[in-house]
Amino acid sequence: MTDAIATIEQPSGSFAGDLWRQFRAHPGGVAGLIVFAFIVIAVYLGPFIHTIDPNKIDIKAKNQGPSWVHPFGTDNLGHDMLAQVLAGGQISLAVGITAMLLALLLGTLVGVLSGYFKRIDGMLMRITDLFLALPLLPLLLVIIMLFRDTLRAAFGPETGIFILIVFVIGVTSWMHTARIVRGDVLAVKSQEFVLAAKASGMWEYRVILKHILPNVMSSIMVSATLGIASAIITESALSFLGLGFPSDFPTWGRLLFDGANFLQINPSRVLWPGLAISLTVLSVNYIGDAIRDALDPRMMKR
């Protein structure tokens, strides 16, 4: 009897501890976290170990296979493919994370306002439906073709394209987050603690910041992980179509585009960037699945 009472009175632990315990119970999520962490570490710390300049041209070493000097081989101009994959990963991950943050900000803002304020719910959801109905890839191509040269002239070829691609991906990827957050807000705002806060005279913005947002954060976190994968794929598709960064500013998608014409001569040119994209997207998706399961209230009660 005493042991049973002690067990009941024993605290269950912190929320972060419970979340990590549930996350570790998902083998795919743990494997995805390890792979993604390895990719991030390799991309950002690898150039300090493999010190070859990714833009260094060595015609004598063109179209070589893997070797000790060039572990991933070289391209038709003698560029070291490992150095280019590492440099391209920095850009692709930066685009994916920045575009995800922009989409997350827009989607959370629209979802919270739509779910909390009934008078603007219809208007915001119709705007969301309008964006969902648009053919995104043709829209992306049109926007890039219209504003690419203007931003290049204003900010430079690399920074201008980076701003354009991040903006284009961000403003066309927020709709699913908005719908998910809106549904959670509709469920949370009818809870007793929210009604009590409103009855006490608390300002609306404080109710949203203190009571609404913390209770929809789980959905936002899942959308964040999936948004990174979606942004990386979109950027790779645009670069593969030749509408992304310039050829001397490699991304994984650009490396695929440049290597497609040399597929029969040197297949490894498309193997390594394609493998990097696949592993990154797959690992991020598994991390998102694990976070979703870990934040499931039914799982937390076990």
Contacts of 242 (CB under 8 A, 6+ apart): 257
CB neighbourhood size of 135 (10 A): 9
DSSP 209: I
Task: Give the chain's end-to-end CA distance (angstroms, integer).
Answer: 22
Q: b or e along 95-131 (b: 16 or more beta carbons within 10 Å of the residue's beta carbon)?
A: bbbbbbbbbbebbbebbbbbbbeeeeeeebbeebeeb
Q: Is residue 4 part of a domain?
A: no
pLDDT confidence bin for 2, thresholds 50/70/90: very low
pLDDT confidence bin for 13, thresholds 50/70/90: low
Tell me what the pLDDT averaged over the chain comes to.
Answer: 83
> What angle is formed at CA 92 by the lines to CA 26 and CA 142, rounded to 5 degrees?
120
3-class state of residue 271 by DSSP: helix
The total domain count for the chain is: 1
Q: Is residue 45 part of a domain?
A: yes
Do 200 and 184 meet the contact criterion of CB atoms below 8 Å apart? no
Top pLDDT among 246 and 279 is at: 279
Give residue-wise pLDDT tens across range 230-243.
888 888 888 877 77
Top pLDDT among 182 and 134 is at: 182
Is the pLDDT at 181 greater than 70? The verdict is yes
Q: Is residue 221 part of a domain?
A: yes
Q: Is residue 5 part of a domain?
A: no
Is the pLDDT at 223 greater than 70? The verdict is yes
How high is the pLDDT of residue 155?
A: 83
Q: Is residue 132 part of a domain?
A: yes
| Integer Cα distance of 65 and 190 in angstroms | 63
Among residues 39, 98, 100, the alpha carbon closest in space to that of 225 is found at 100
> What angle is formed at CA 230 by the lines to CA 229 and CA 235, rounded to 5 degrees?
100
Q: Is residue 2 part of a domain?
A: no
Query: What CATH number is given to the structural domain containing 272?
Result: 1.10.3720.10
For a pLDDT cut of 70, what percent of the chain falls above it?
A: 92
Q: Is residue 8 part of a domain?
A: no
| Integer Cα distance of 184 and 180 in angstroms | 7
pTM reported for the whole predicted model: 0.82
How high is the pLDDT of residue 299?
A: 52
Q: Is residue 7 part of a domain?
A: no
Is the pLDDT at 296 greater than 70? The verdict is no
Mean pLDDT over 176-204 rounds to 85
Among residues 33, 159, 43, the alpha carbon closest in space to that of 90 is found at 43
How high is the pLDDT of residue 144?
A: 81
Give residue-wise pLDDT tens across range 56-100.
888 888 888 888 888 888 888 888 899 999 998 998 899 889 999
How high is the pLDDT of residue 218?
A: 78
For a pLDDT cut of 90, what percent of the chain falls above it?
A: 16
Q: Which domain holds residue 147?
A: 15-300
Is the pLDDT at 37 greater than 90? The verdict is yes
